[in-house]
Structure 1
């Protein structure tokens, strides 16, 4: 079984309430626990950025479902690479709602999402690699 990490960005088709985001998190936790997927979801200003980690074939099926989810538009896969270990090993899914502005990495995470929206690098790194590095230390 090969382990992959992937990162995508997408725009919500409409702004989501805190309650809707919590429902989405609960669904993702349950689904991901069943299929051996870990990761984290970031939400800011109607944009999602998500890291998913798991078996390559499982992630391919999951991404196909996510791409067709009517809550998303402008889906862009930013990163999909083999990984030696999971960065988000503790969570079947975690969520950071940046609209709450209460995360310790708030400024960096907002910059990552803004860079991904406009295909801009952060220094010499892609937004996806920058995101993974924020959590791998």
Structure 2
């Protein structure tokens, strides 16, 4: 089955921008739903923005993006990349949380997620995810 990868950036709304509890809730929901749908990926919250990479079967990625567009915890969702791929970048994680590491921060031109290209967004998430332990 062909794989698909989408990367988006959005503005976190309300408590989703700063609350650790809301972030944990998002990660828990994402992990459960992604396991069910055969999706994997990584989420980063930085300076009131979300950056997320999702990968899996095309139909499941499209359904998730449709749900995300109506999720009240963020707005101004902008898809940076939407493409077929041969392999997953994050096969181990139904949904991982990537923190902004010093190495990842060097990939930001202006310190924000606002002007990221698809290539830079993918590199940033890949670099940040390198600091994550592999799941048990």
**TM-score of the alignment, normalized to the shorter chain, above 0.5:** yes
TM category (shorter chain) comes to 0.7 to 0.9
Which residue pairs with 1:85 in the alignment? Answer: 87
* Rounded Cα–Cα distance in structure 1 between residues aligned with 2:33 and 2:75: 21
SS in 1 for 2:123: helix
The superposition leaves residues 70-117 of structure 1 with CA deviations (integer Å, 9 ceiling, x where unpaired) of 11111000001111111101100001244xxxx4634246x1795641
Q: Which runs of 4+ in 1 moved over 2 A?
A: 103-106, 112-116, 125-136
Structure 2's unaligned 5+ residue stretches are 131-136
How far 1:20 moved relative to its partner? 1.1
Matched, 1:6 2:6: yes
TM alignment of 1:94-113, pairs within 5 A:
94-98=96-100, 103=101, 105-108=103-106, 111=108
CA distance change for structure 1 residues 106 and 126 in 2, over 3 Å: closer, same or farther? closer
* Rounded Cα–Cα distance in structure 1 between residues aligned with 2:58 and 2:86: 13
Aligned length: 127
Which residue pairs with 2:42 in the alignment? Answer: 40
Which residue pairs with 1:25 in the alignment? Answer: 27
Q: Which of 88, 100, 123 is the matching residue for 1:130?
A: 123
Which residue pairs with 2:62 in the alignment? Answer: 60
* Rounded Cα–Cα distance in structure 1 between residues aligned with 2:106 and 2:53: 16
Structure 1's unaligned 5+ residue stretches are none
CA distance change for structure 1 residues 23 and 105 in 2, over 3 Å: closer, same or farther? farther
How far 1:35 moved relative to its partner? 0.2
SS in 2 for 1:88: coil
How far 1:45 moved relative to its partner? 1.2
TM (normalized to structure 1)? 0.80
